[in-house]
């Protein structure tokens, strides 16, 4: 593991360490972007997530019945909201929920997310926010006296907890060092692809293939980050050239209106023909929802892990909530 | 009771028995359509519902604090959703709730309810679904590892738990065998009327009058089912001809735009004049909400049971949830 | 305190006493309008609210885990809804929640709030209602077998729990008798301003300055009430003439489209220049959300109490819920 590397990265920005991680590097405060996680914090999270699997399996509960989580979504996303809310309920806690947080501000022009968050923080112990603008979660975290989790910000922002559950799904099956991963799809605006790339960069000898139509390729900020952290990557526009050698295929969807040649999208789809060319122990991941890029015939293949990802999201979010809610 | 009759009906379709009822005929798995209930299962449900009445009356709670129910509504219905959610809360359990489940799929064209349900089932112990398409609940049940309850599907589908609470309301007052029932309204698209007709067919010597404008009469599938089960029924377009002899008046509303002669609707309404022609011990039921077809002057009559129906819905749904959640 | 005065006011309307307060004047039944509170009931509420502060501070909970509150909002207001729901969760209770209660009635024309409330009351122990029509909460209270709280009705109605938390915020800092208060903004339609004026009238030697553009001044019903209760007030259109002498500045927002001269609004805004003319121990309150009428530069001034108001709303609503839910 690249512990020394990521430790020096943190050292380069002590202010961020202060604000995001608190004085104890194991103690999370807000979760805004995936690069703030160090390998030791990830391992602590994953160990707790394993414990949550066992807890849920035996129908147990934890002692959070006096804690309240607020899900503050400026745009609806039942999937992500349910995952966080189920996690809080499985811990025994309470939930305040809205999918139309813009109502806080729509009735008057110009209300700032900062005012809304300061008020909501009076009512709860933790805030999960989805904001339509890049940086919305960071603005919330700056004024909130209670922990804030970014559940997706803007179009080119991040979705760090999705990346955490993606990584946990891989971690449950194989070592993270030395991994070869194809990340496929609309990468320039892919929040989950971006957040996962940051996380993979924490580990040793990782190789990432970014596979997408050239006009939708990963943006330079991520590529520069990978360069700085000595992570090998390649930009590809042909899935067929990499499918035989990767350990993990991370598929995401592409909005058809964003490509010049819609028929070309077919070249990026996973179907039974592609399955035959993959390693026998490869893993197929997808954050869902899916469309044509992931055929239903793949569902019964043992390499399909995307429904398992959803379950893992519950465990990882339960674990994350405990790390943020536990007082020293 | 027609136990032998309904037992043979089950015998005719062993596959349905397998998938809907599990190996133990008393053990429900999914609740999709009301005809899947046998008389012994109905009696078990009603005995439990009576117990729930007593539990709520003494302010008690049950031991379901580690269980999560998800209400997944593709169209809003505060009334039905609140009834299910109150039932789960009265059991001590937790609830995930959405009235805009279509957001799971609207962001991409073509997401199937099957994918959404497989993900949501990761987060909860039971799913209550209202779907805009007939058969939506059945599709959900086919892929769900947790029990699914149909809270209304499509326009001509079913709403089995409404029929269960309707029947329970009658059961609390009088024997179900030998009952004479007028079912009034827009019967061709009436989910609750359809589901209730299936349930009434389980009992001996029942007679049903379907009272509606001819163009909105009950559809042949129900009538054929009643024929097969030797249930007597008549199609009527004049309430006045049956009102004196029925034990139960099950009123439902009619959308005015669906009848050729709106003034004719008046002939189907229940008001103080109609009350005078009814049996002194008759029961008036209505699934609510109501409009002109049920006058407010009826509310204070002892034969008005429609607000009692709403309370009974709580008890029946509590009972049903325990039957689905209890592990062997 | 004006106990004799308010007692005689109550004496003048024994029917109201009967319906709103129950036989025991300390026992609240419904909360519809702020003038129904007597000083002893207010003091009981505030003592309980202080206890709730301590309870929340030590992370404790109360014994309401078998009680259900329904928030029935005919128009969304995440802020008010979250405050009530957080209060119920902090008491350990359960919540049913909708921000689109109009769906109860929109599917049919003419469903009355009365029918909806009678059904919802079957599912819960207490109803919090926001209704778009003045008098909507009163109509709900008239038919509900469980307590109803008005969380805002109509445009010119009331919002009594907002006024209770406003008053509690003042009470925490200074005596209520002898208070000098400027109430600023769009007063003719200001539910919170109206409810607060009624409450202030309960105390001795209070002086109220209503500060607003003449076309938006407080309506005669309130002014007549103040006259009847011997409360001194002045109508002002220039904040500068009163800012030096008031103990409390209660700022509210003005919809720009409602004033003839938008630039004139600037004369009613609180900013750092206005701060310099205020008493050193004055309090600035605002029900939020804010816009130009309250500058962010005020936030760090020790006289700014508006974020404290939000926290106090939690304690006051917790206290109010216990007073309504506790059985004798």
Burial of residue C220 (number of CB atoms within 10 Å: 0-12, 13-18, 19+): exposed
- Angle ∠(C32,C37,C42) on CA atoms, nearest 5: 125
Neighbours of B154 (CB within 10 A): 16
Kindly report, residue by residue over C290-320, the tens digit of the pLDDT.
988 999 999 999 999 999 999 999 999 999 9
What confidence score (pLDDT) does residue B266 get? 81
Question: What's the Cα-to-Cα distance from C241 to each of B89, B146, C277, rounded to whole Å?
Answer: 55, 68, 10
- Residue C20 clears pLDDT 50, i.e. is over it: no
CB within 8 Å: B86 and C96:
yes
Kindly report, residue by residue over C157-177, the tens digit of the pLDDT.
899 999 999 999 999 999 999
CA B302 to chain centre: 23
Q: Which of A67-76, A256-265, A286-295, C16-25 has the lowest mean pLDDT?
A: C16-25
Picking from A59, A82, A99, the nearest residue to B66 by CB comes out as A59
Q: Strands of A232-236's sheet, edge to edge?
A: A232-236, A207-211, A180-184, A248-251, A283-285
d(CA B23, CA B29): 10
CB within 8 Å: A78 and B124:
no
- Min distance C92 CA to chain B CA atoms (Å): 11
Check if the beta carbon of residue C50 is closer than 8 Å to that of residue C32. Answer: no
- Min distance A279 CA to chain C CA atoms (Å): 49
Average pLDDT (C229-257) is: 94
Q: For residue A282, give both structure tokens.
A: 């490869």
What confidence score (pLDDT) does residue A108 get? 57
Chain C hits for B90, CB-CB cut-off 8 Å, are 66, 68
Check if the beta carbon of residue C303 is closer than 8 Å to that of residue C29. Answer: no
Chain A hits for C82, CB-CB cut-off 8 Å, are 70, 96, 98, 120, 123
What confidence score (pLDDT) does residue A171 get? 98
What confidence score (pLDDT) does residue A8 get? 34
d(CA C179, CA C206): 5
Question: What's the Cα-to-Cα distance from B58 to each of B55, B82, B143, B204, C70, rounded to whole Å?
Answer: 5, 21, 39, 35, 20
CB within 8 Å: C104 and B289:
yes
d(CA A69, CA A85): 8
Residues of B with CB under 8 A from a CB of C: 59-61, 76-79, 81-83, 85-86, 89-90, 92, 97, 99, 253, 288-292, 307, 310-311, 313-314
- Residue A325 clears pLDDT 80, i.e. is over it: yes
CA A292 to chain centre: 22
ipTM > 0.85 (yes/no): yes
- Angle ∠(C306,C307,C308) on CA atoms, nearest 5: 90
Q: At what angle do helices B78-90 and C113-120 cross, to 10 degrees?
A: 20
pLDDT tens for the 328 residues of chain B, in order:
333 333 333 333 433 433 444 446 567 899 999 999 999 999 999 999 999 999 999 988 899 999 999 999 998 899 999 999 999 999 999 999 998 887 765 555 556 899 999 999 999 999 999 999 999 999 999 999 999 999 999 888 899 999 999 999 999 999 999 999 999 999 999 999 999 999 999 999 999 999 999 999 999 999 999 999 999 999 999 999 999 999 999 999 888 788 777 777 788 999 999 999 999 999 999 999 998 899 999 999 999 999 999 999 999 999 999 999 996 5
- What's the whole-number average pLDDT of chain A? 89
Q: For residue A324, give both structure tokens.
A: 């943020």
Whether the predicted model's global pTM rises above the 0.80 cut = yes
Task: Select from A37, A113, A66 the least CA-distant residue to A323.
Answer: A37
Chain A hits for B109, CB-CB cut-off 8 Å, are 291
Residues of A with CB under 8 A from a CB of B: 59-61, 76-79, 81-83, 85-86, 89-90, 92, 97, 99, 253, 288-292, 307, 310-311, 313-314
Which chains, if any, share at least 3 CB pairs under 8 A with chain C? A, B
- Min distance C44 CA to chain A CA atoms (Å): 23
pLDDT category, C12, cuts 50, 70, 90?
very low
Kindly report, residue by residue over B237-292, the tens digit of the pLDDT.
999 999 999 999 999 988 878 877 777 778 899 999 999 999 999 999 999 999 88
CB within 8 Å: A289 and B111:
yes
Check if the beta carbon of residue C286 is closer than 8 Å to that of residue C303. Answer: no
Q: At what angle do helices B160-171 and B191-200 cross, to 10 degrees?
A: 50
Burial of residue A4 (number of CB atoms within 10 Å: 0-12, 13-18, 19+): exposed
What confidence score (pLDDT) does residue A14 get? 37
Question: What's the Cα-to-Cα distance from B210 to each of A84, A231, B196, B241, B272, rounded to whole Å?
Answer: 48, 73, 12, 12, 22
Q: Which domains does chain C have, with CATH numbers?
A: 6-158+313-325 (3.40.50.1370), 174-304 (3.40.50.1370)
Stronger pLDDT, A86 or C260, i.e. the higher one: A86
SS3 assignment for chain A: CCHHHHHHHHHCCHHHHHHHHCCCCCCCCCECCHHHCCHHHHHHHHHHHHHHHHHHHCCCCCCCCCCEEEEEECCCCHHHHHHHHHHHHHCCCEEEEECCCCHHHHCCCCCCHHHHHHHHCCCCCEEEEEECCCCHHHHHHHHCCCCEEEEEECCCCCCHHHHHHHHHHHHCCCCCCCCEEEEECCHHHCHHHHHHHHHHCCCCCCEEEEECCHHHCCCHHHHHHHHHCCCEEEEECCHHHCCCCCCEEEECCCCHHHCCCHHHHHHHCECHHHHHHCCCCCEEECCCCCCCCECHHHCCCCCECHHHHHHHHHHHHHHHHHHHHCCC
Picking from B92, B289, B313, the nearest residue to C105 by CB comes out as B289
d(CA C49, CA C314): 9
d(CA B151, CA B73): 8
- Min distance C290 CA to chain A CA atoms (Å): 7
| Residue owning tokens 């609806």 | A76
């Amino acid at each position: 593991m690249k512990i020394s590397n990521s430790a020096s990265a943190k050292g380069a920005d002590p202010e961020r360490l202060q604000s995001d991680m608190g004085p104890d590097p194991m103690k999370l405060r807000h979760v805004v972007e995936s690069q703030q996680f160090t390998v030791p914090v990830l391992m602590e999270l994953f160990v707790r997530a394993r414990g949550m699997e066992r807890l849920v399996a035996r129908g147990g509960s934890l002692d959070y019945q006096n804690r309240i989580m607020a899900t503050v979504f400026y745009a609806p996303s039942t999937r992500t909201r349910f995952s966080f809310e189920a996690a809080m309920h499985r811990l025994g806690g309470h939930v305040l929920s809205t999918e139309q947080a813009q109502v806080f501000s729509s009735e008057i022009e110009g209300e700032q997310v900062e005012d809304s968050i300061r008020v909501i923080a009076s009512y709860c112990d933790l805030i999960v926010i989805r904001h339509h603008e890049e940086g919305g979660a960071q603005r919330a975290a700056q004024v909130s006296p209670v922990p804030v989790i970014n559940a997706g910000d803007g179009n080119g922002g991040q979705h760090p907890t999705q990346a955490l559950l993606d990584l946990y799904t891989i971690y449950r099956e194989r070592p993270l060092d030395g991994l070869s991963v194809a990340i496929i799809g609309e990468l320039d605006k892919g929040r989950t692809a971006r957040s996962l790339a940051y996380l993979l960069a924490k580990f040793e000898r990782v190789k990432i293939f970014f596979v997408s139509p050239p006009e939708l390729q990963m943006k330079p900020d991520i590529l520069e980050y990978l360069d700085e952290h000595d992570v090998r990557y390649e930009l590809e526009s042909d899935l067929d050239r990499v499918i035989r050698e990767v350990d993990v295929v991370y598929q995401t969807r592409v909005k058809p209106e964003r490509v010049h040649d819609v028929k070309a999208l077919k070249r990026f789809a996973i179907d039974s023909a592609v399955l035959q060319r993959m390693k026998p122990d490869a893993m197929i991941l997808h954050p869902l929802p899916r469309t044509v890029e992931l055929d239903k015939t793949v569902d019964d293949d043992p390499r399909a892990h995307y429904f398992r990802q959803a379950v893992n999201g519950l465990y990882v979010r339960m674990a994350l909530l405990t790390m943020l809610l536990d007082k020293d």
